[in-house]
Structure formats: structure tokens, C-alpha cells
Amino acid sequence: MLFSELGLAPELLRALEDEGYVTPTPIQQQAIPLVLAGRDLLAAAQTGTGKTAAFTLPILQRLLGAPALSPRPRVLVLVPTRELAAQVAESVRTYGRHLRVRSAVIFGGVGLGPQVEQLRRGADIVVATPGRLLDHMQRRSVDLSGIETLVLDEADRMLDMGFIRDIRRVLAALPKRRQNLLFSATFSDAIRALVAGLLNDPARVEVAPRNTAAELVEQRAHPVDKARKAALLAHLVSSGDWRQVLVFTRTKHGANRLADQLERAGLVSMAIHGNKSQNARTKALADFKAGRVRVLVATDIAARGLDIDQLPHVINHELPNVPEDYVHRIGRTGRAGSAGEAISLVSGDERGLLRDIEKLLKRALPSSVVPGFEPGTASAQERAEVAAPRHAKPRSRGPQKTSADAPRRGAATSGGDARAAQHHSRRPRSQSSNRNGRVPGPR
């Protein structure tokens, strides 16, 4: 099938041609006609499937078909993270290149002023993260009474991040009659509850059955002392000559510390997390994609929504508290038939987490000890280096500061980055409650 067979306007076909896209992806083939017909949509699709174009193209076409009656926004796209907001807004610009469609992108961690100005000038499409959109609603810098189409992108992640109350407050401000499109990689009870009150006789579209990523990826676990994980990781990267490695840690400080340790082992590494400014994150991602950074160390939240997948190596330096996050993480590798492996470094205290993951996967992960890294062999010095509490603030640790994490750690949280951190820190996220779809209390 070709894009030209989907009934899209010539301006959109031209933009697709500019991009070199000829064949719609499966989600695009299924979703575009349904959205054009005005249906509500419930779509199971992950990043990398072409889902953004699957809603952006038909939405642009519908705007084209019915000219604006007022300067108010007509389409609202809610997304969980700044990165995803920026990427979706970029897609709107790309596909809308030959149309006169105005868009605004709204997310936290940057000044309100330019966003207020964007909204004041008028935007047909607003792409926003829920918290910052609420700020604008409270300031009356955005009027959502003209919204015709609502998109919830990566809805599961928005719920995981504790956005449900914000989402409900946004929904309450929208006109009752509208088109609703919901995209989610997974379908928890919480998502189903949201869907039930939101979607009107939705068409269902599914491109990858639930949790299939887990079956396509070669997975293994290496038991290792917590104190030797960084050394083992450096060993695996060097001895395997891995060139592009995405590593997950549980905490921002853990990400900084690990990136430093890897740097000292001679591996060009960067950490990416919620305390980093937007610019720092964008640059790290660009350097990683271009091969200038060999190891990208990320927290789950920071990695979500990044346009990176089909990576050859994904490493769980620490196992996630939520088994579903494991599936999200390893979904970054081995897509579309390309070979990929996901390796988990498992310390003694993480065995319970591993069991939870295996229960979700309904199979055991092959586990092997790497020679030279047998559990129980960490030296006293190595143990001392990880003894520091994981959540300690870099500057508050005073004389206990160890050589392992002394350099550079403070840099990531200084200056303008503190403001960027507010966006995440303001909203409590209770990892352990995610699985059941319960969300943290009010802000």
C-alpha cells in the first residue's frame, strides 16, 4: 500500500515525499482512514511504529477540510515528557510544512513567557505535557473550549508518571463533543478505566501484541556484586566492542555516578535524566545517535519517549522496581528483526525484582556469572565506593565523599537545571503503585 492510496491531501503527500516516506507503516494504514472518518481510536502501539504520523497526518487533513472559525486551538495532544512533546511538535511541523497550520508546544522546565506568546499568536494544534498545560489554564493563557480532537499519546506512561489527576482536570475543560485518540504501549486496569470514560465507541488498532518485544530480544542476566557492576559493565562494553549502549539506572544520581565511572574507564558516556536541562538532554541524545557518545546512561523517565530504538545493546544496570518498566526498557532493542540483546546486572538484593520480572515474562531469564566478576568477590574498596546512600545530594556529603563519585557529579544539578527539575519533582511518582494503576495523591 502507498500513502497516496489513503486519501491524504496533496500537501501532505508532498511533505511525506520530502521525508522520503512512501509506504505507510501498519499503524498508519489502519489508523489514518479511521481518524479521517472522525472515529475515536484506541491504539496499541509503541514508539518506533510510526504512531506519531498515524495521528498527525489525518488530524492535519481534518483541519484542512474545515477551516478555523476562531483563533482558539482545535487539536490538543497530551504527552508524558518534554522530549516527546518536542518530537511530536516537530512531526506536526514536518508533515504540516505545506499547510498553513500553526502549532504550539508546551512543556515544563523552561520559561512560561515564550509559550504564552506562542499561544497568544494563535495555535491550531497544541502539543503539551499535562502539568504545564494546567499552569497555562490557570493563567488563562490557553483556551481549550474550541478543541475538536484530543490525542493522549503514551497514555500508559502518563499514568505511570502520576498525571491522572492533571489529565482529568484538562479533560474537564474540553468541549464534550470531540474526537478522542488514545495511544498506549500497554493496557493496565488504570488505562482501561480511563478509556471507559473517555472514548466513544472506539475503533481498536493494534500493531504489536502486548509485551512481544520481550520475546524478540535475547535476554540474559549476570549475577554480580553491586560494588562491581560498573566494572563489569565497562568490561562487557570493552570486550564486546559495543559501540552504542543504552544503560538504565534507577536514580538520577546513579546515572551521573555511573557515567563518571565509565568515563574513567575510558568509555565516552553521558547521563540523561530529569535534572538535566532540555538542551543538555537534546545534545546527549544527538551525540549518542551520531556515535560520538558510546554509552548513554538514562533513568526510565528520561528514556521514555526518546526517539531511539533498534539499539544493539540495552543494559539494566539496576533492575526497575516495576516489572513493566523492564519490558519498556528492553523494547529499545531488537526491533524489526534487528539483532539485539538486553542484559541485566543483578545484585543479591535485586533477586526479588528479577523474580517479579520473570513472572511477568512467564519465563526465567538465562543467568550466568561472568568470569572474574563472581558474586562475593568485591574488594573492601569497591564496597566502600557504593556504600554512599543512593539519594544523597552531591554537595551534602562532605567528608564522606569517595573518589568514585567525586568529580563532575555536582555539574548536572547546578544552575538552570534546578528549574528543569521542578517539572518532575513537583509530581510525586510512586513506583510501587504503578502496577496496580493506583496513582499518587494530589499535588
Q: Using an 8 Å Cβ cutoff, are 24 and 7 in contact? A: no
Does 433 bind ligand AMP (CB under 6 A)? Our answer is no
Question: Measuring CA to CA, which residue among 305, 329, 334 is closest to residue 52?
Answer: 305
Residue 342, beta-bridge partner list = 219, 314
Q: Is 118 helix (H, G, I), strand (E, B) or coil?
A: helix
Q: Taking the complex as a whole, how short is the minimal distance between the CB of residue 259 and ligand AMP, in angstroms?
A: 25
Alpha-carbon distance 122 to 367, whole Å? 56
Q: CA separation (Å) from 225 to 135, 315, 326, 335, 354?
A: 45, 16, 20, 31, 15
Size of the site for ligand AMP (CB under 6 A): 13
Does 21 bind ligand AMP (CB under 6 A)? Our answer is yes
Does 25 bind ligand AMP (CB under 6 A)? Our answer is yes
Looking at the Cβ atoms of 79 and 439, the one nearer to ligand AMP is: 79
Does 52 bind ligand AMP (CB under 6 A)? Our answer is yes
249 Cβ contact partners less than 8 Å away, ≥ 6 residues apart = 255, 258, 297, 298, 299, 317, 318
For the chain, the 3-state helix, strand and coil shares in percent, each to the nearest 5, are 45, 15, 40
| Segment lying near ligand AMP (by CB under 6 A), choices 41-49, 132-140, 141-149, 236-244 | 41-49
Does 434 bind ligand AMP (CB under 6 A)? Our answer is no
Question: Measuring CA to CA, which residue among 81, 131, 73 is closest to residue 307?
Answer: 81
268 Cβ contact partners less than 8 Å away, ≥ 6 residues apart = 292, 293, 294, 295
Alpha-carbon distance 59 to 238, whole Å? 47
Binding residue for ligand AMP, selected from 30, 34, 50, 164, defined by CB under 6 A: 50
Does 29 bind ligand AMP (CB under 6 A)? Our answer is no
Question: Which residue of this chain has its Cβ atom nearest to ligand AMP in the complex?
Answer: 52
Q: Taking the complex as a whole, how short is the minimal distance between the CB of residue 379 and ligand AMP, in angstroms?
A: 44
| Segment lying near ligand AMP (by CB under 6 A), choices 24-32, 165-173, 192-200, 424-432 | 24-32
Sign of CA dihedral 316, 320, 324, 328: negative
Question: Where do we find the cell 478505566?
Answer: 193
Torsion angles phi and psi, residue 107, rounded to 5: -150, 165
Q: Taking the complex as a whole, how short is the minimal distance between the CB of residue 153 and ligand AMP, in angstroms?
A: 9
Does 332 bind ligand AMP (CB under 6 A)? Our answer is no
Looking at the Cβ atoms of 28 and 30, the one nearer to ligand AMP is: 28
| Segment lying near ligand AMP (by CB under 6 A), choices 19-27, 67-75, 230-238, 315-323 | 19-27
Q: Show the DSSP H helices in 122-239 as ranges.
A: 130-138, 155-160, 164-172, 189-198, 213-216, 229-239
| Per-residue mark of binding to ligand AMP, 291-330 (x: CB under 6 A) | ----------------x-----------------------
Q: Taking the complex as a whole, how short is the minimal distance between the CB of residue 151 and ligand AMP, in angstroms?
A: 12
Binding residue for ligand AMP, selected from 48, 71, 428, 440, defined by CB under 6 A: 48
Looking at the Cβ atoms of 52 and 118, the one nearer to ligand AMP is: 52
| Segment lying near ligand AMP (by CB under 6 A), choices 48-56, 75-83, 134-142, 171-179 | 48-56
| Segment lying near ligand AMP (by CB under 6 A), choices 47-55, 62-70, 131-139, 408-416 | 47-55
* One-letter identity of residue 50: G
Question: Where do we find the cell 518485544?
Answer: 213
Cell for 183?
495511544
Does 244 bind ligand AMP (CB under 6 A)? Our answer is no
Q: Taking the complex as a whole, how short is the minimal distance between the CB of residue 91 and ligand AMP, in angstroms?
A: 7
* H helices, E strands: number in the chain: 19, 13
Binding residue for ligand AMP, selected from 8, 35, 43, 51, defined by CB under 6 A: 51
Does 184 bind ligand AMP (CB under 6 A)? Our answer is no
Q: Using an 8 Å Cβ cutoff, are 345 and 232 in contact? A: yes
Binding residues among 211-240 for ligand AMP as defined by CB under 6 A: none
Binding residue for ligand AMP, selected from 6, 12, 24, 303, defined by CB under 6 A: 24
Q: Using an 8 Å Cβ cutoff, are 75 and 148 in contact? A: yes
Task: Return residues touching ligand AMP (CB under 6 A).
Answer: 21, 23-25, 28, 47-53, 307
